[in-house]
């Protein structure tokens, strides 16, 4: 198992455990030395994972994600680029919604975390010849974006603004 994959699996193991997981237990699970686990934990902490070492083992404390709604406008052809812009800045695209004059709020979960997710979504629109919700409101729509920090949400906002997708005065 590659080191990066093991680190991702360590995070998953810690998140799924209801109690601290000892370094010895992790070394047995991943069939590496205890020292390799200590090194992995140090690297994960340096990567801003909030891992706490207790006398009974390691615990990960995930703060609740931050969330912001962005009001955006762009052409049909720019859908992929707009979503890439959010993902590349570190955001998670939770949904898309519009406010329709007659029907009110129409909302659809997107759950896009990677470029591959975006590609699949855009391909689905094309293959199924489906119109995006923004077509109902003259291209104006909203995305709820989640991120690990306010800083990431600010980076998303700045990137959307630089590309001319963001509508000011949300």
- What pLDDT score does 48 carry? 79
Q: Where are the domains of the chain?
A: 3-60, 66-162
CA–CA dist 81, 114 (Å, integer): 13
Q: In sequence order, what DSSP letters do the residues of the chain get, joined into one string?
A: --HHHHHHHHHHHHHH-SS-B-HHHHHHHHTS-HHHHHHHHHHHHHTT--EEEETTEEEE-PPPPEEEEEEEE--GGGHHHHHHHHHHTT-EEEEEEEEETTTEEEEEEEEE-SHHHHHHHHHHHHHTTPPPGGGGGTTEEEEEEEESSHHHHHHHHHHHHHTT-BPS--
Q: In what order do the strands lie in the sheet with 92-100?
A: 66-73, 140-147, 92-100, 104-112
In this predicted structure, the answer to whether residue 169 has a pLDDT above a threshold of 80 is no
Sign of CA dihedral 100, 150, 58, 37: positive
pLDDT, tens digit, 9 for 90 and up, residues 124-161: 999 988 889 999 999 999 999 998 888 889 999 999 99
- What pLDDT score does 149 carry? 82
Length of the chain: 170
Q: 163: pLDDT confidence band, cut at 50, 70 and 90?
A: very high
Q: Under CATH, what is the fold of the domain 66-162?
A: 3.30.1340
pLDDT, tens digit, 9 for 90 and up, residues 11-47: 989 988 889 999 999 999 999 999 999 999 999 888 7
The CATH classification number of 3-60 equals 1.10.10.10
- What pLDDT score does 70 carry? 97
pLDDT, tens digit, 9 for 90 and up, residues 61-71: 877 778 999 99
pLDDT, tens digit, 9 for 90 and up, residues 70-125: 999 999 999 999 999 999 998 999 999 999 999 999 999 999 988 999 999 999 99
Task: Give the distance from CA 59 to its chain's centroid.
Answer: 22
pTM, to two decimals? 0.66
Task: Give the distance from CA 121 to its chain's centroid.
Answer: 15
In this predicted structure, the answer to whether residue 170 has a pLDDT above a threshold of 60 is no
């Amino acid at each position: 198992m590659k080191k990066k994959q093991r680190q991702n699996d360590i995070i998953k193991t810690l998140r799924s455990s209801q109690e601290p997981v000892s370094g010895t237990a992790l070394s047995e699970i991943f069939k590496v030395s205890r020292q390799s686990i200590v090194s992995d934990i140090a690297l994960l902490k340096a990567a801003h994972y909030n891992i706490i070492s207790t006398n009974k083992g390691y615990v990960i404390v995930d703060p609740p994600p931050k969330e912001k709604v962005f009001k955006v406008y762009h052409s049909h052809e720019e859908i992929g680029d707009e979503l890439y812009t959010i993902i590349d800045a570190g955001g998670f695209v939770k949904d898309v919604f519009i406010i329709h004059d007659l029907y009110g709020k129409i909302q659809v979960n997107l759950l896009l975390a990677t470029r591959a997710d975006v590609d699949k979504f855009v391909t689905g629109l094309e293959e199924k010849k489906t119109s995006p919700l923004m077509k109902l409101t003259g291209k104006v729509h909203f995305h709820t974006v989640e991120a690990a920090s306010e800083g990431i949400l600010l980076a998303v906002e700045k990137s959307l603004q630089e590309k001319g997708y963001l509508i000011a005065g949300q």
